[in-house]
Structure 1
Amino acid sequence: MELLLTGATGYLGGVVARRLAEAGHALTAVVREPSRATGLPAGTRLVQGAVESPEVLADAASRVDGVVHLAPSGGLATDLAAARAFTDALAGRGGVLVWTTGVWVLGPTDGGAAAEDSPTAPIALVHDRVAAERAVLSAADVVRAVVLRPGIVHGHGGGIPALLVEQARRAGTGVVTGAADVRWPMVHVDDLADLYVAAVERAASGSVLHGVAEEGVPVTDLATAAAHAAGAGPGWTVRSTAETATEVGAAFADALATSQVVSATRTRFALGWHPRRVGAVTDVAAGSYARPSAA
Protein backbone atom coordinates (compact mmCIF):
# COMPACT_ATOMS: atom_id res chain seq x y z
CA MET A 1 0.00 0.00 0.00
CA GLU A 2 1.19 3.55 -0.75
CA LEU A 3 0.91 5.58 2.46
CA LEU A 4 1.32 9.25 3.31
CA LEU A 5 2.68 10.02 6.78
CA THR A 6 2.69 13.22 8.79
CA GLY A 7 4.89 13.53 11.86
CA ALA A 8 7.22 10.86 10.49
CA THR A 9 10.35 12.52 11.85
CA GLY A 10 9.04 12.56 15.45
CA TYR A 11 9.62 10.07 18.27
CA LEU A 12 6.57 7.93 17.51
CA GLY A 13 6.42 8.72 13.80
CA GLY A 14 9.93 7.48 13.13
CA VAL A 15 9.23 4.09 14.69
CA VAL A 16 5.88 3.78 12.91
CA ALA A 17 7.50 4.65 9.57
CA ARG A 18 10.11 1.93 9.99
CA ARG A 19 7.53 -0.66 11.00
CA LEU A 20 5.25 0.19 8.05
CA ALA A 21 8.19 -0.08 5.66
CA GLU A 22 9.14 -3.45 7.17
CA ALA A 23 5.56 -4.59 6.56
CA GLY A 24 6.00 -3.82 2.87
CA HIS A 25 4.26 -0.46 2.55
CA ALA A 26 5.67 2.33 0.39
CA LEU A 27 5.95 5.65 2.19
CA THR A 28 5.64 9.33 1.43
CA ALA A 29 6.33 11.75 4.28
CA VAL A 30 5.26 15.37 4.61
CA VAL A 31 8.21 17.17 6.22
CA ARG A 32 8.93 20.79 7.00
CA GLU A 33 12.65 20.46 6.28
CA PRO A 34 13.73 17.57 4.04
CA SER A 35 17.30 17.92 5.30
CA ARG A 36 16.14 16.67 8.72
CA ALA A 37 14.45 13.53 7.38
CA THR A 38 17.61 11.44 7.13
CA GLY A 39 16.34 8.83 9.60
CA LEU A 40 13.36 7.73 7.52
CA PRO A 41 13.34 4.31 5.79
CA ALA A 42 15.18 4.05 2.50
CA GLY A 43 12.94 4.84 -0.43
CA THR A 44 10.66 7.22 1.48
CA ARG A 45 9.48 9.97 -0.84
CA LEU A 46 9.54 13.43 0.72
CA VAL A 47 7.00 16.20 0.24
CA GLN A 48 7.96 19.55 1.71
CA GLY A 49 5.09 21.06 3.65
CA ALA A 50 3.32 21.20 6.98
CA VAL A 51 -0.04 20.34 8.53
CA GLU A 52 -0.90 24.03 8.25
CA SER A 53 -0.89 23.68 4.44
CA PRO A 54 -4.09 21.80 3.48
CA GLU A 55 -3.41 22.24 -0.24
CA VAL A 56 -0.11 20.39 0.10
CA LEU A 57 -1.77 17.67 2.18
CA ALA A 58 -4.61 17.22 -0.29
CA ASP A 59 -2.28 16.97 -3.27
CA ALA A 60 -0.02 14.45 -1.53
CA ALA A 61 -2.98 12.38 -0.29
CA SER A 62 -4.46 12.23 -3.79
CA ARG A 63 -1.42 10.23 -4.90
CA VAL A 64 -1.53 7.48 -2.23
CA ASP A 65 -3.80 4.72 -0.91
CA GLY A 66 -3.96 5.95 2.66
CA VAL A 67 -2.81 8.44 5.27
CA VAL A 68 -1.33 7.92 8.74
CA HIS A 69 -1.56 11.22 10.59
CA LEU A 70 0.94 11.36 13.46
CA ALA A 71 1.78 15.06 13.57
CA PRO A 72 1.06 17.00 16.77
CA SER A 73 -2.16 18.99 16.80
CA GLY A 74 -1.90 22.34 15.10
CA GLY A 75 -5.04 23.65 16.81
CA LEU A 76 -8.67 23.06 15.94
CA ALA A 77 -8.83 25.02 12.67
CA THR A 78 -5.63 23.44 11.37
CA ASP A 79 -6.70 19.93 12.38
CA LEU A 80 -10.14 20.25 10.82
CA ALA A 81 -8.64 21.58 7.60
CA ALA A 82 -6.16 18.72 7.49
CA ALA A 83 -8.88 16.14 8.15
CA ARG A 84 -10.99 17.61 5.34
CA ALA A 85 -8.02 17.67 2.96
CA PHE A 86 -7.29 14.01 3.63
CA THR A 87 -10.88 12.77 3.48
CA ASP A 88 -11.64 14.69 0.30
CA ALA A 89 -8.51 13.35 -1.38
CA LEU A 90 -9.19 9.74 -0.35
CA ALA A 91 -12.97 9.73 -0.78
CA GLY A 92 -14.40 7.13 -3.11
CA ARG A 93 -11.10 5.29 -3.56
CA GLY A 94 -11.30 2.94 -0.58
CA GLY A 95 -8.49 4.89 1.09
CA VAL A 96 -7.66 4.56 4.77
CA LEU A 97 -7.13 7.48 7.16
CA VAL A 98 -5.60 6.65 10.55
CA TRP A 99 -5.82 9.77 12.72
CA THR A 100 -3.85 10.00 15.98
CA THR A 101 -5.18 11.67 19.13
CA GLY A 102 -4.47 10.11 22.53
CA VAL A 103 -6.06 8.81 25.71
CA TRP A 104 -6.05 12.27 27.29
CA VAL A 105 -9.24 12.98 25.32
CA LEU A 106 -10.96 10.70 27.86
CA GLY A 107 -10.02 12.92 30.78
CA PRO A 108 -9.49 11.57 34.31
CA THR A 109 -11.06 8.17 34.78
CA ASP A 110 -13.04 7.29 37.90
CA GLY A 111 -14.02 3.77 38.81
CA GLY A 112 -13.42 1.20 36.08
CA ALA A 113 -11.20 1.40 33.04
CA ALA A 114 -12.30 3.66 30.18
CA ALA A 115 -13.11 1.71 27.03
CA GLU A 116 -13.03 2.68 23.38
CA ASP A 117 -16.67 3.80 23.54
CA SER A 118 -16.46 5.65 26.87
CA PRO A 119 -17.52 9.32 26.86
CA THR A 120 -14.79 11.85 26.18
CA ALA A 121 -13.91 14.64 28.61
CA PRO A 122 -10.65 16.06 27.24
CA ILE A 123 -8.18 17.82 29.46
CA ALA A 124 -7.13 21.35 28.50
CA LEU A 125 -3.99 20.30 26.63
CA VAL A 126 -6.03 18.30 24.09
CA HIS A 127 -9.41 20.03 24.26
CA ASP A 128 -9.63 20.43 20.46
CA ARG A 129 -8.91 16.83 19.57
CA VAL A 130 -12.40 15.43 20.16
CA ALA A 131 -13.76 17.68 17.42
CA ALA A 132 -11.02 16.41 15.11
CA GLU A 133 -11.93 12.82 15.98
CA ARG A 134 -15.56 13.51 15.13
CA ALA A 135 -14.63 15.11 11.83
CA VAL A 136 -12.60 12.06 10.82
CA LEU A 137 -15.22 9.55 11.93
CA SER A 138 -17.98 11.49 10.19
CA ALA A 139 -16.28 10.57 6.89
CA ALA A 140 -16.43 6.82 7.62
CA ASP A 141 -18.89 6.28 4.79
CA VAL A 142 -16.49 7.64 2.13
CA VAL A 143 -13.07 6.64 3.54
CA ARG A 144 -11.90 3.92 5.91
CA ALA A 145 -11.67 6.29 8.86
CA VAL A 146 -9.85 5.15 12.02
CA VAL A 147 -9.03 7.08 15.21
CA LEU A 148 -6.11 5.75 17.24
CA ARG A 149 -5.54 6.92 20.82
CA PRO A 150 -2.10 5.99 22.17
CA GLY A 151 -1.44 5.80 25.88
CA ILE A 152 1.71 7.29 27.40
CA VAL A 153 4.46 5.99 25.14
CA HIS A 154 7.76 4.58 26.37
CA GLY A 155 10.72 2.87 24.78
CA HIS A 156 13.98 3.74 23.01
CA GLY A 157 14.74 6.19 25.83
CA GLY A 158 12.18 8.74 24.59
CA GLY A 159 8.81 10.23 25.37
CA ILE A 160 7.43 11.38 28.71
CA PRO A 161 9.42 8.83 30.75
CA ALA A 162 12.60 10.62 29.66
CA LEU A 163 11.18 13.72 31.38
CA LEU A 164 10.70 11.69 34.57
CA VAL A 165 14.34 10.62 34.46
CA GLU A 166 15.49 14.20 33.96
CA GLN A 167 13.25 15.40 36.82
CA ALA A 168 14.73 12.72 39.09
CA ARG A 169 18.25 13.71 38.08
CA ARG A 170 17.60 17.34 39.00
CA ALA A 171 15.60 16.65 42.17
CA GLY A 172 17.76 13.83 43.50
CA THR A 173 14.70 11.58 43.79
CA GLY A 174 11.70 10.50 41.77
CA VAL A 175 9.05 13.14 41.06
CA VAL A 176 5.29 12.60 40.87
CA THR A 177 3.12 15.52 39.78
CA GLY A 178 -0.25 16.09 41.41
CA ALA A 179 -0.90 13.22 43.81
CA ALA A 180 0.54 9.90 44.91
CA ASP A 181 -2.33 7.88 43.43
CA VAL A 182 -1.92 9.04 39.82
CA ARG A 183 -1.89 6.25 37.23
CA TRP A 184 -0.94 6.32 33.56
CA PRO A 185 -1.95 3.94 30.76
CA MET A 186 1.30 2.92 29.07
CA VAL A 187 2.47 1.37 25.81
CA HIS A 188 5.87 0.51 24.36
CA VAL A 189 6.55 2.41 21.15
CA ASP A 190 7.31 -0.80 19.23
CA ASP A 191 4.03 -2.40 20.31
CA LEU A 192 2.23 0.78 19.32
CA ALA A 193 3.89 0.73 15.90
CA ASP A 194 2.57 -2.81 15.44
CA LEU A 195 -0.92 -1.49 16.16
CA TYR A 196 -0.57 1.19 13.47
CA VAL A 197 0.29 -1.50 10.94
CA ALA A 198 -2.76 -3.52 12.01
CA ALA A 199 -4.96 -0.42 11.81
CA VAL A 200 -3.77 0.40 8.30
CA GLU A 201 -4.21 -3.14 7.06
CA ARG A 202 -7.45 -4.29 8.68
CA ALA A 203 -9.23 -1.87 11.03
CA ALA A 204 -12.89 -1.37 10.19
CA SER A 205 -14.09 2.05 9.10
CA GLY A 206 -15.37 4.07 12.03
CA SER A 207 -13.08 2.30 14.52
CA VAL A 208 -11.78 3.98 17.66
CA LEU A 209 -8.67 2.14 18.84
CA HIS A 210 -6.80 2.34 22.14
CA GLY A 211 -3.05 1.88 21.98
CA VAL A 212 -2.58 0.74 25.58
CA ALA A 213 -0.56 -2.24 26.82
CA GLU A 214 -0.73 -1.55 30.59
CA GLU A 215 -4.03 -0.08 31.72
CA GLY A 216 -2.92 2.00 34.69
CA VAL A 217 0.68 2.02 35.93
CA PRO A 218 1.19 3.83 39.27
CA VAL A 219 3.31 6.89 38.57
CA THR A 220 5.00 6.36 41.94
CA ASP A 221 6.44 3.15 40.45
CA LEU A 222 7.56 5.01 37.33
CA ALA A 223 9.11 7.78 39.43
CA THR A 224 11.00 5.24 41.55
CA ALA A 225 12.25 3.59 38.36
CA ALA A 226 13.24 6.99 36.97
CA ALA A 227 15.25 7.75 40.10
CA HIS A 228 17.09 4.46 39.68
CA ALA A 229 17.76 5.19 36.01
CA ALA A 230 19.06 8.65 36.88
CA GLY A 231 21.33 7.40 39.63
CA ALA A 232 19.38 9.51 42.11
CA GLY A 233 18.25 8.70 45.62
CA PRO A 234 15.61 6.03 46.14
CA GLY A 235 11.89 6.73 46.33
CA TRP A 236 9.81 9.66 45.15
CA THR A 237 8.28 12.94 46.17
CA VAL A 238 4.98 14.54 45.18
CA ARG A 239 5.24 17.91 43.47
CA SER A 240 2.29 20.24 42.92
CA THR A 241 1.11 20.96 39.40
CA ALA A 242 2.08 24.58 39.98
CA GLU A 243 5.67 23.56 40.69
CA THR A 244 5.88 21.37 37.61
CA ALA A 245 4.22 24.10 35.55
CA THR A 246 7.25 26.32 36.03
CA GLU A 247 9.23 23.76 34.02
CA VAL A 248 6.76 22.51 31.41
CA GLY A 249 3.80 24.91 31.37
CA ALA A 250 0.44 24.72 33.12
CA ALA A 251 -1.43 22.62 30.54
CA PHE A 252 1.25 19.95 30.32
CA ALA A 253 1.67 19.87 34.10
CA ASP A 254 -2.07 19.23 34.44
CA ALA A 255 -1.72 16.41 31.90
CA LEU A 256 1.04 14.81 33.95
CA ALA A 257 -1.25 14.96 36.99
CA THR A 258 -4.16 13.31 35.14
CA SER A 259 -4.90 9.86 36.52
CA GLN A 260 -6.28 7.32 34.06
CA VAL A 261 -6.99 3.64 33.73
CA VAL A 262 -7.72 2.81 30.09
CA SER A 263 -8.68 -0.49 28.49
CA ALA A 264 -7.71 -1.69 25.01
CA THR A 265 -9.61 -4.98 25.22
CA ARG A 266 -11.82 -4.26 22.21
CA THR A 267 -8.86 -3.08 20.15
CA ARG A 268 -6.90 -6.24 20.93
CA PHE A 269 -9.84 -8.47 20.07
CA ALA A 270 -10.74 -6.66 16.85
CA LEU A 271 -7.22 -6.59 15.41
CA GLY A 272 -5.46 -9.48 17.13
CA TRP A 273 -3.01 -7.04 18.66
CA HIS A 274 -0.83 -8.59 21.38
CA PRO A 275 1.65 -6.19 23.04
CA ARG A 276 4.77 -8.15 23.98
CA ARG A 277 7.55 -5.72 24.79
CA VAL A 278 8.95 -4.93 28.21
CA GLY A 279 6.68 -3.10 30.66
CA ALA A 280 7.16 0.58 31.41
CA VAL A 281 8.58 0.29 34.93
CA THR A 282 11.22 -2.24 33.90
CA ASP A 283 12.05 -0.26 30.77
CA VAL A 284 12.61 2.92 32.76
CA ALA A 285 14.53 1.32 35.62
CA ALA A 286 16.76 -1.07 33.72
CA GLY A 287 16.01 -0.76 30.01
CA SER A 288 16.28 2.00 27.48
CA TYR A 289 16.32 4.81 30.07
CA ALA A 290 18.90 3.35 32.43
CA ARG A 291 22.14 5.21 32.94
CA PRO A 292 25.06 3.32 31.36
CA SER A 293 27.29 1.60 33.88
CA ALA A 294 30.66 3.18 34.54
CA ALA A 295 33.50 1.55 32.61
Structure 2
Amino acid sequence: MRVFVTGASGFIGTAVVRELLSAGHEVVGLARTDASASAVEADGARALRGDLDDLPSLRRGAEAADGVVHLANKHDWTNPAESNRAERTAVQAFLEVLEGSGRPFVLAAGLALPGLGRASTEHDRSDAHGPDAPRGGAENLALAHAERGVRVVSARFAPTVHGEGDHGFVALLAEHSRRTGAVPVPGEGANRWPAVHRSDAAVLVRLALEGAPAGSVVHAAAEEGVPVREIAAALAQRLHLPVSSVAPEQLARDLPFVGAFLSADVPASSALTRELLGWRPVGPTLLEDVAAGHYDR
Protein backbone atom coordinates (compact mmCIF):
# COMPACT_ATOMS: atom_id res chain seq x y z
CA MET A 1 0.00 0.00 0.00
CA ARG A 2 1.22 3.51 -0.77
CA VAL A 3 0.54 5.60 2.33
CA PHE A 4 0.62 9.37 2.67
CA VAL A 5 1.56 10.38 6.22
CA THR A 6 1.35 13.86 7.72
CA GLY A 7 3.49 14.56 10.75
CA ALA A 8 5.92 12.01 9.33
CA SER A 9 9.01 13.53 10.95
CA GLY A 10 7.41 14.03 14.36
CA PHE A 11 7.77 11.98 17.53
CA ILE A 12 4.85 9.65 16.74
CA GLY A 13 5.10 10.03 12.98
CA THR A 14 8.69 8.79 12.82
CA ALA A 15 7.70 5.59 14.61
CA VAL A 16 4.66 5.16 12.35
CA VAL A 17 6.70 5.64 9.18
CA ARG A 18 9.26 3.06 10.30
CA GLU A 19 6.51 0.61 11.26
CA LEU A 20 4.79 0.98 7.89
CA LEU A 21 8.04 0.57 5.98
CA SER A 22 8.98 -2.53 7.99
CA ALA A 23 5.60 -4.05 7.06
CA GLY A 24 6.33 -3.55 3.35
CA HIS A 25 4.30 -0.41 2.67
CA GLU A 26 5.52 2.50 0.57
CA VAL A 27 5.42 5.80 2.47
CA VAL A 28 5.28 9.41 1.35
CA GLY A 29 5.67 11.84 4.24
CA LEU A 30 4.61 15.47 4.37
CA ALA A 31 7.63 17.65 5.18
CA ARG A 32 7.43 21.31 6.15
CA THR A 33 11.18 22.02 6.12
CA ASP A 34 14.35 20.77 4.47
CA ALA A 35 15.36 19.18 7.77
CA SER A 36 12.03 17.34 8.00
CA ALA A 37 12.36 16.15 4.41
CA SER A 38 15.86 14.84 5.08
CA ALA A 39 14.66 12.99 8.19
CA VAL A 40 11.78 11.37 6.30
CA GLU A 41 14.04 10.30 3.46
CA ALA A 42 16.70 8.99 5.85
CA ASP A 43 14.14 6.49 7.12
CA GLY A 44 13.51 5.24 3.58
CA ALA A 45 10.32 7.15 2.76
CA ARG A 46 9.71 9.82 0.14
CA ALA A 47 9.12 13.41 1.15
CA LEU A 48 6.41 15.72 -0.18
CA ARG A 49 7.07 19.35 0.74
CA GLY A 50 4.16 21.21 2.31
CA ASP A 51 2.36 21.90 5.56
CA LEU A 52 -1.18 21.88 6.99
CA ASP A 53 -1.98 25.22 5.35
CA ASP A 54 -0.79 24.02 1.94
CA LEU A 55 -4.05 22.38 0.89
CA PRO A 56 -2.95 21.69 -2.72
CA SER A 57 -0.01 19.62 -1.39
CA LEU A 58 -2.32 17.75 0.97
CA ARG A 59 -4.65 16.94 -1.90
CA ARG A 60 -1.80 15.82 -4.14
CA GLY A 61 -0.49 13.52 -1.46
CA ALA A 62 -3.91 11.97 -0.90
CA GLU A 63 -4.72 11.63 -4.59
CA ALA A 64 -1.56 9.60 -5.22
CA ALA A 65 -1.98 7.35 -2.17
CA ASP A 66 -3.82 4.14 -1.37
CA GLY A 67 -4.44 5.45 2.13
CA VAL A 68 -3.79 8.47 4.36
CA VAL A 69 -2.54 8.66 7.95
CA HIS A 70 -3.06 12.15 9.36
CA LEU A 71 -0.90 12.76 12.45
CA ALA A 72 0.15 16.40 12.05
CA ASN A 73 -1.26 19.17 14.22
CA LYS A 74 -0.01 22.68 14.88
CA HIS A 75 -0.33 22.20 18.66
CA ASP A 76 -0.11 25.94 19.20
CA TRP A 77 -0.92 26.11 22.91
CA THR A 78 -0.96 29.92 22.78
CA ASN A 79 -3.46 30.02 19.90
CA PRO A 80 -5.66 26.91 20.01
CA ALA A 81 -8.19 28.51 17.65
CA GLU A 82 -5.57 28.52 14.91
CA SER A 83 -4.70 24.88 15.57
CA ASN A 84 -8.39 23.98 15.42
CA ARG A 85 -8.89 25.87 12.15
CA ALA A 86 -5.90 24.26 10.47
CA GLU A 87 -6.93 20.79 11.61
CA ARG A 88 -10.46 21.08 10.27
CA THR A 89 -9.48 22.52 6.89
CA ALA A 90 -6.81 19.84 6.40
CA VAL A 91 -9.25 17.04 7.24
CA GLN A 92 -11.84 18.54 4.91
CA ALA A 93 -9.28 18.54 2.09
CA PHE A 94 -8.47 14.87 2.65
CA LEU A 95 -12.12 13.86 2.81
CA GLU A 96 -12.90 15.67 -0.44
CA VAL A 97 -10.21 13.65 -2.20
CA LEU A 98 -11.02 10.29 -0.59
CA GLU A 99 -14.82 10.44 -0.76
CA GLY A 100 -16.28 7.49 -2.69
CA SER A 101 -12.93 5.73 -3.05
CA GLY A 102 -13.14 3.24 -0.17
CA ARG A 103 -9.57 4.14 0.74
CA PRO A 104 -8.53 4.29 4.42
CA PHE A 105 -8.14 7.53 6.31
CA VAL A 106 -6.62 7.15 9.78
CA LEU A 107 -7.07 10.32 11.79
CA ALA A 108 -5.19 11.13 14.99
CA ALA A 109 -7.61 12.25 17.69
CA GLY A 110 -7.48 12.96 21.41
CA LEU A 111 -8.40 10.40 24.04
CA ALA A 112 -9.17 12.80 26.89
CA LEU A 113 -12.92 12.52 27.51
CA PRO A 114 -13.41 14.01 31.00
CA GLY A 115 -16.48 13.83 33.18
CA LEU A 116 -17.56 10.28 32.41
CA GLY A 117 -16.90 8.95 35.91
CA ARG A 118 -15.43 5.79 34.38
CA ALA A 119 -12.90 4.70 31.80
CA SER A 120 -13.92 5.86 28.34
CA THR A 121 -14.40 3.22 25.66
CA GLU A 122 -14.35 3.19 21.90
CA HIS A 123 -18.16 3.46 21.93
CA ASP A 124 -18.04 6.88 23.62
CA ARG A 125 -18.39 9.73 21.18
CA SER A 126 -16.71 13.10 21.37
CA ASP A 127 -18.99 16.10 21.87
CA ALA A 128 -16.64 18.27 19.77
CA HIS A 129 -18.66 19.39 16.77
CA GLY A 130 -18.07 22.28 14.43
CA PRO A 131 -15.08 24.45 13.53
CA ASP A 132 -14.88 26.17 16.92
CA ALA A 133 -14.66 22.89 18.86
CA PRO A 134 -11.38 21.33 20.04
CA ARG A 135 -9.40 20.05 17.04
CA GLY A 136 -12.02 21.75 14.89
CA GLY A 137 -14.46 18.90 15.51
CA ALA A 138 -12.40 16.92 12.98
CA GLU A 139 -13.10 13.50 14.47
CA ASN A 140 -16.87 13.78 14.10
CA LEU A 141 -16.47 15.42 10.70
CA ALA A 142 -14.37 12.51 9.50
CA LEU A 143 -16.50 9.76 11.01
CA ALA A 144 -19.54 11.16 9.19
CA HIS A 145 -17.78 10.26 5.94
CA ALA A 146 -17.71 6.55 6.77
CA GLU A 147 -21.06 6.39 4.97
CA ARG A 148 -19.67 8.35 2.03
CA GLY A 149 -17.12 5.88 0.78
CA VAL A 150 -14.17 6.64 3.05
CA ARG A 151 -12.78 3.96 5.38
CA VAL A 152 -12.41 6.44 8.23
CA VAL A 153 -10.70 5.28 11.42
CA SER A 154 -10.28 7.60 14.39
CA ALA A 155 -7.12 6.68 16.30
CA ARG A 156 -7.45 8.29 19.72
CA PHE A 157 -4.03 8.71 21.29
CA ALA A 158 -3.49 8.71 25.03
CA PRO A 159 -2.55 12.14 26.45
CA THR A 160 0.91 10.73 27.02
CA VAL A 161 2.58 8.95 24.12
CA HIS A 162 5.96 8.37 25.69
CA GLY A 163 9.45 7.19 24.92
CA GLU A 164 12.89 8.61 24.36
CA GLY A 165 12.60 12.02 22.73
CA ASP A 166 9.06 12.73 23.99
CA HIS A 167 8.40 16.47 24.14
CA GLY A 168 4.74 16.28 25.13
CA PHE A 169 2.88 16.84 28.39
CA VAL A 170 5.25 14.92 30.69
CA ALA A 171 8.28 16.61 29.18
CA LEU A 172 6.62 20.02 29.66
CA LEU A 173 5.81 19.09 33.26
CA ALA A 174 9.43 18.10 33.83
CA GLU A 175 10.68 21.36 32.31
CA HIS A 176 8.32 23.38 34.51
CA SER A 177 9.45 21.43 37.57
CA ARG A 178 13.13 22.08 36.92
CA ARG A 179 12.40 25.77 36.48
CA THR A 180 10.30 26.14 39.64
CA GLY A 181 12.16 23.69 41.88
CA ALA A 182 9.24 21.34 42.59
CA VAL A 183 7.05 18.85 40.73
CA PRO A 184 3.44 20.07 40.98
CA VAL A 185 0.56 17.67 41.46
CA PRO A 186 -3.09 18.75 41.33
CA GLY A 187 -4.54 18.26 44.81
CA GLU A 188 -3.88 14.68 45.90
CA GLY A 189 -3.05 13.64 42.34
CA ALA A 190 -5.53 10.78 42.30
CA ASN A 191 -6.69 11.64 38.78
CA ARG A 192 -5.52 9.26 36.06
CA TRP A 193 -3.88 9.56 32.67
CA PRO A 194 -3.80 6.84 30.00
CA ALA A 195 -0.42 6.23 28.41
CA VAL A 196 1.12 4.33 25.51
CA HIS A 197 4.66 3.83 24.27
CA ARG A 198 5.17 5.30 20.81
CA SER A 199 6.26 1.95 19.34
CA ASP A 200 2.96 0.40 20.43
CA ALA A 201 1.06 3.39 19.07
CA ALA A 202 2.79 2.93 15.71
CA VAL A 203 1.76 -0.72 15.53
CA LEU A 204 -1.82 0.27 16.27
CA VAL A 205 -1.85 2.84 13.47
CA ARG A 206 -0.60 0.22 11.01
CA LEU A 207 -3.19 -2.32 12.11
CA ALA A 208 -5.95 0.28 11.83
CA LEU A 209 -4.80 1.31 8.37
CA GLU A 210 -4.65 -2.27 7.17
CA GLY A 211 -7.88 -3.63 8.54
CA ALA A 212 -10.13 -1.52 10.76
CA PRO A 213 -13.67 -1.18 9.38
CA ALA A 214 -15.05 2.16 8.25
CA GLY A 215 -16.28 4.25 11.15
CA SER A 216 -14.05 2.55 13.73
CA VAL A 217 -12.71 4.30 16.79
CA VAL A 218 -9.57 2.75 18.27
CA HIS A 219 -7.83 3.64 21.52
CA ALA A 220 -4.04 3.88 21.68
CA ALA A 221 -3.90 3.33 25.43
CA ALA A 222 -1.63 0.59 26.73
CA GLU A 223 -2.22 1.74 30.33
CA GLU A 224 -5.80 2.60 31.26
CA GLY A 225 -4.86 5.24 33.79
CA VAL A 226 -1.65 6.11 35.62
CA PRO A 227 -2.33 8.25 38.73
CA VAL A 228 -0.78 11.67 38.24
CA ARG A 229 0.72 11.49 41.75
CA GLU A 230 2.73 8.45 40.62
CA ILE A 231 3.98 10.31 37.56
CA ALA A 232 4.95 13.26 39.77
CA ALA A 233 6.70 11.01 42.30
CA ALA A 234 8.70 9.29 39.57
CA LEU A 235 9.74 12.63 38.08
CA ALA A 236 10.63 13.98 41.51
CA GLN A 237 12.92 11.02 42.15
CA ARG A 238 14.72 11.46 38.83
CA LEU A 239 14.99 15.26 39.10
CA HIS A 240 15.87 15.27 42.82
CA LEU A 241 12.99 17.63 43.54
CA PRO A 242 10.11 17.65 46.03
CA VAL A 243 6.49 17.09 45.04
CA SER A 244 4.21 20.07 45.68
CA SER A 245 0.42 19.78 45.95
CA VAL A 246 -1.17 22.61 44.01
CA ALA A 247 -4.80 23.61 43.57
CA PRO A 248 -5.97 22.67 40.05
CA GLU A 249 -6.87 26.31 39.34
CA GLN A 250 -3.38 27.44 40.32
CA LEU A 251 -1.76 24.73 38.22
CA ALA A 252 -3.79 25.84 35.19
CA ARG A 253 -2.45 29.38 35.69
CA ASP A 254 1.15 28.33 36.33
CA LEU A 255 1.28 25.90 33.43
CA PRO A 256 -1.10 27.22 30.76
CA PHE A 257 -3.11 24.63 28.83
CA VAL A 258 -1.02 21.71 30.06
CA GLY A 259 -1.95 22.37 33.67
CA ALA A 260 -5.65 22.02 32.96
CA PHE A 261 -5.06 18.63 31.36
CA LEU A 262 -2.94 17.52 34.29
CA SER A 263 -5.93 18.01 36.58
CA ALA A 264 -8.34 15.95 34.46
CA ASP A 265 -9.33 12.38 35.31
CA VAL A 266 -9.47 10.67 31.92
CA PRO A 267 -8.91 6.90 32.20
CA ALA A 268 -9.52 5.02 28.96
CA SER A 269 -9.97 1.38 28.04
CA SER A 270 -8.53 -0.20 24.89
CA ALA A 271 -10.22 -3.59 25.36
CA LEU A 272 -12.37 -3.27 22.23
CA THR A 273 -9.38 -2.12 20.18
CA ARG A 274 -7.36 -5.14 21.26
CA GLU A 275 -10.23 -7.45 20.37
CA LEU A 276 -10.86 -5.79 17.01
CA LEU A 277 -7.26 -5.61 15.77
CA GLY A 278 -5.36 -8.10 17.91
CA TRP A 279 -3.26 -5.23 19.26
CA ARG A 280 -0.93 -6.31 22.07
CA PRO A 281 1.19 -3.48 23.56
CA VAL A 282 4.66 -4.67 24.59
CA GLY A 283 6.61 -1.43 25.09
CA PRO A 284 7.80 0.07 28.38
CA THR A 285 5.29 1.68 30.73
CA LEU A 286 5.27 5.41 31.34
CA LEU A 287 6.85 5.07 34.78
CA GLU A 288 9.55 2.80 33.32
CA ASP A 289 10.37 5.49 30.76
CA VAL A 290 10.54 8.15 33.47
CA ALA A 291 12.84 5.89 35.50
CA ALA A 292 15.00 5.38 32.40
CA GLY A 293 15.81 9.10 32.43
CA HIS A 294 13.98 10.14 29.26
CA TYR A 295 12.63 13.26 30.98
CA ASP A 296 15.75 14.30 32.90
CA ARG A 297 16.59 17.05 30.42
**Partner in structure 2 of residue 61 of structure 1:** 62
AA partner of residue 4 (structure 1) = F
Segment of structure 1 superposing worse, 153-162 or 185-194: 153-162
Question: TM-score by structure 1 length?
Answer: 0.87
Contact 2:88 2:136 in 1 (8 A): no
3-state DSSP of counterpart to 2:145: coil
**Partner in structure 2 of residue 72 of structure 1:** 73
**Partner in structure 1 of residue 107 of structure 2:** 99
AA partner of residue 154 (structure 2) = V
Contact 1:210 1:263 in 2 (8 A): yes
User: Matches of 2:37 and 2:154 in 1, distance apart?
Assistant: 26
Aligned length: 283
Tell me by how many angstroms 1:94 deviates: 2.8
1:37-186 alignment runs, 5 A limit:
37-40=37-40, 41-72=42-73, 75-104=83-112, 106-110=113-117, 112-121=118-127, 127-129=133-135, 131-141=137-147, 142-151=149-158, 152-158=160-166, 159-177=168-186, 179-186=188-195
- Structure 1 pair 178–55 and aligned structure 2 pair: CA distance change class (3 A): farther
3-state DSSP of counterpart to 1:281: helix
Contact 1:87 1:143 in 2 (8 A): yes
Is 2:272 the counterpart of 1:271? no
5+ residue gaps, structure 2:
75-81
Tell me by how many angstroms 1:246 deviates: 5.0
Listed one character per residue, the Cα deviations across residues 105-128 of structure 1 (whole Å, up to 9, x for unaligned) are x22431x21111124356xxx943
User: Matches of 1:12 and 1:85 in 2, distance apart?
Assistant: 22
User: Matches of 1:42 and 1:14 in 2, distance apart?
Assistant: 8
Listed one character per residue, the Cα deviations across residues 150-198 of structure 1 (whole Å, up to 9, x for unaligned) are 1021111413222233333334443214552221011111111110111
3-state DSSP of counterpart to 1:147: strand
User: Matches of 1:44 and 1:241 in 2, distance apart?
Assistant: 44
From 200, 203, 206, the counterpart of 2:212? 203
3-state DSSP of counterpart to 2:35: helix
Contact 1:34 1:46 in 2 (8 A): no
Tell me by how many angstroms 1:247 deviates: 5.1
- Structure 1 pair 7–282 and aligned structure 2 pair: CA distance change class (3 A): same
Tell me by how many angstroms 1:21 deviates: 1.4
Seq. identity, %:
36
Listed one character per residue, the Cα deviations across residues 82-131 of structure 1 (whole Å, up to 9, x for unaligned) are 22221222233331100011112x22431x21111124356xxx943372
Tell me by how many angstroms 1:49 deviates: 1.4
5+ residue gaps, structure 1:
none
Segment of structure 1 superposing worse, 11-20 or 192-201: 11-20
**Partner in structure 2 of residue 191 of structure 1:** 200
- Structure 1 pair 262–130 and aligned structure 2 pair: CA distance change class (3 A): farther
**Partner in structure 1 of residue 263 of structure 2:** 257
